[in-house]
Amino acid sequence: MADKVLTIVVPCYDEQEVLHETSKLLKNIIDDLIEQNKISVNSKILFVNDGSKDKTWEIIEQLQSQEKVFTGIRLSRNFGHQNAVMAGLSRAVWYSDMMITIDADLQDDIQKIYEMVDNFYQGFDIVYGVRNNRDTDTGFKRTTAEAYYWLMTKMGVNLIPDHADYRLMSKRAVEALLEYHEENLFLRGIVPELGFNTTKVYYKRKERFAGESHYPLKKMLSLAINGITSFTIAPIKVILYLGILMVLYGGGALVLLGLTHHMSDYRSLINSLWLLGGIQLITLSIIGTYVGKVFNDVKKRPRFIIEDDTYSDSMKKVR
Ligand code: UDP
Ligand code: MG
């Protein structure tokens, strides 16, 4: 058992306030697991610096000079949370038997790592961390999140409710994940598509330890839209039905008008112009979003660019 390598992948964007605490707590867990003979002494904590503007990379460098369990990857600029996770996994998969992804801000219960590792040994390839309450989220975030999961499921997208990006994956699960080359990856939607033997561990999500959320409303909205448009063309079908309904209504009204000779009020005419114009713009933008996705994907641009990789350097040494 003790020869299985665990790598904990931590995406970091401007996390100077939390890194010291996070690294200390994660190291304790790794040490513990090594002591219990559950993981190899070559297990690592891999910080992926996603183009931070603050001292995040300096802190990571300092950490790795102190303890060999700390390693880092520095992306050449900010590529976004999902791509930072993928960058970390793309390297970790070379040397690890299991990988855990977790945010840097200690919102997810790191004590659940023990349970995740136990599940790995019971034969599970993917272990989802699932929040069993959202007390720390605002009422607004909670309602919108619930509505979103509901909508996604209705449209046929397989999402694990209340699961974010805290999960354990085996080497072969990560290898399968890396086969998905699409741009603007929505991990939460793709991981359940992989199949494999999966299970869940439940935890209570805490407040951010320090610093600020990097997911303001605008980013949340764009992640949500990306999630939908990456997995289903249901919105385009909705447009069709909407169009049919409108034609029926408009046609019917015309026939009635023709029969009764009623002149309609000009205000209702202006209102319906606005309504129709708005609906047209929305439908155009829905189609445009899909076309834009094709545009982005045909270019096959890299999802991330690695500038420094002290993780691989350190793993090559132990091999
Ligand atoms: N993050 C990142 N790149 C970004 C934005 C965020 O790597 O462009 C990281 C961030 O450092 C954190 C995780 O992704 O470890 C989740 O971000 P955050 O905690 O700000 O989001 P929230 O928990 O509020 O949804
Ligand atoms: Mg957070």
* Interval 197-214: pLDDT, tens: 999 999 988 777 777 777
Ligand 1 contact, 108 CB (< 6 A): no
* Interval 216-228: pLDDT, tens: 778 778 888 888 8
Ligand 1 contact, 19 CB (< 6 A): no
Give dist(CA 62, CA 143) in Å, integer. Answer: 41
This prediction has a pTM of: 0.81
Provide the pLDDT for residue 284: 87
How far, in Å, from the CA of 167 to the mean position of ligand 2? 15
Q: Closest ligand 1 atom, CA of 220? A: 25
Ligand 1 contact, 78 CB (< 6 A): yes
Q: Closest ligand 1 atom, CA of 10? A: 15
Provide the pLDDT for residue 298: 81
Provide the pLDDT for residue 318: 63
Provide the pLDDT for residue 262: 61
Give dist(CA 282, CA 50) in Å, integer. Answer: 33
How far is CA 218 from each of CA 214, 223, 227, rounded to the nearest angstrom?
10, 9, 14
CB 91 within 8 A of CB 160: no
Ligand 1 contact, 11 CB (< 6 A): yes
Q: Average pLDDT for consecutive 10-residue bins of the chain (319 residues)? A: 90 94 95 94 96 95 93 95 95 96 92 95 95 76 83 82 91 95 84 92 81 76 82 83 84 75 67 82 85 82 91 78
Provide the pLDDT for residue 27: 96
Q: Closest ligand 1 atom, CA of 48? A: 7
How far, in Å, from the CA of 12 to the mean position of ligand 2? 10
Provide the pLDDT for residue 265: 65
* ipTM of predicted assembly, 2 dp: 0.95
Ligand 1 contact, 168 CB (< 6 A): no
Provide the pLDDT for residue 257: 73
Handedness of CA 56, 58, 64, 66 (dihedral sign): negative
131 φ/ψ angles, rounded to the nearest 5 degrees: -75, 130
Provide the pLDDT for residue 263: 58
